[in-house]
Each structure stands twice: as C-alpha cells, then as structure tokens.
Amino acid sequence: MTILSHLVVFLINDISIKLCDTDELKRIHELFGGKWESSIQGFSVNKTRQIFVKKSDLDKVMLVIGHEIGHVLSHALPNKQDEEAKAFAFEMAWMKTIVEQDIANLKENIAIDFKPAKNGLHDISFNFVSKIISAGKKALDVYQELMYGILSLE
C-alpha cells in the first residue's frame, strides 16, 4: 500500500462523497452560495468535509474526487490560488496512484496531461504545481508544502 493509500484510508472516514446529476449538483452548489457554471464537475465544503461530484465516466469521477479530497483533507488556505494548487497537487498524486496500481482497471483511461479550466485560477494553480513536479518534486511533497505555507503562489 502506498503512502497516499494509507493517508486516504486514515482520513477518509469522515469525508462524505455524493454523486449527483447536473441539476442536483447545480442546486446543491447554489445552496452553498456558489455561482453555477456548466463547467463545474464537482465541489467541496471544507468545514463539513463534503464532496459533491457530477455523475460521469468512472475515470472522470475519480479525478474530480481526487481533486476535491485535496481540498478537504486539510484546512482551507487563505489564498485561493494556493488552495487550488494544493488540490491539484493531491489530485496528481491520486492520479499517479490510480495509474501505478491500475485501480478499477483505469490505468489506460487516465490522462496524466489533462488541462484544467482556463479561468485565471485553476489554470494558474495547475501550471504552478505542474512546473514544480516537472522539476522533480513529488506531488504529495508539493501538497504538504502548500498546506504548511512553505510553497505559495504569492
């Protein structure tokens, strides 16, 4: 079992994950004060450790879950770009584990070179994390360094 697997098994006990159709995801998102956009695939509520994900193909759902777990696994960061970078770092470690362990036979379905929304938040945060990982740092190390304020986009 990998370090990531141990971490998730240990901490996931109090995280709830709900799969929703688009209308339900929109309704819940707006209930929590979010502004709905059709590109939203999932979101999380850090205080209550709730994750809501749009129903889709298993590979897509798993990647969204990995991203959202990256948000709720630790405290929310005050800087939005750092918070998104933290979630992307965890998601990249999550993806790597899915591929290496061929979890749910998804190895061939996971695109490690995916691109996030170009919205000035997700793309900037993703590019920041990608650059650091490309330079040789492990994704979980990036996650922890963001979580503890060692790394920042500021």
pLDDT at residue 108 tops 60: yes
> What per-residue confidence (pLDDT) applies to 11?
53
**Choice between 64 and 103, residue whose per-residue pLDDT is larger:** 64
Pair of tokens at residue 57: 């193909």
Q: What is the pLDDT of residues 5-60, one digit of tens each?
A: 444 444 556 899 999 999 999 999 999 999 999 989 999 999 999 999 999 999 99
For residue 74, what is the DSSP state? S
> For 87-101, how does the pLDDT look when each residue is reduced to its tens digit (9 = 90+)?
999 999 999 999 999
Whether 24 is in a domain gets the answer: yes
DSSP state of 58: H
* Both tokens assigned to 17: 């994950």
> What SS3 state is found at 44?
strand
- pLDDT given at position 112: 63
68 within a domain of the structure (yes/no):
yes
The parent domain of residue 139 ranges over 3-147
**Any domain includes 152:** no
CA dist., res. 30 & res. 7, Å (int) = 31
Share of the chain above pLDDT 90, in %: 76
Asked, for residue 20, whether it belongs to a domain, the answer is yes
**Residue 52, SS3?**
strand
152 and 142 Cβ atoms separated by less than 8 Å = no
In this prediction, residue 121 carries a pLDDT of 92
Q: Which residues contact 1 (CB under 8 A, 6 or more apart)?
A: 9
Query: Mean of the pLDDT values across residues 134-144?
Result: 97
Q: Does residue 18 lie within any of the structural domains?
A: yes
Kindly provide the b/e burial profile for residues 8-35, where b requires at least 16 CB atoms within 10 angstroms of the residue's own CB. beeeeeebebebbeeeebbebbeeeeee
* Average pLDDT of span 108-130: 86
Mean pLDDT of the 111-135 span? 88
What total of structural domains would you count in the chain? 1
Is the residue at 131 inside a domain? yes
Q: Is residue 154 part of a domain?
A: no
Summarize the confidence of residues 70-99 as an average pLDDT: 95
Q: What's the confidence (pLDDT) of residue 1?
A: 46
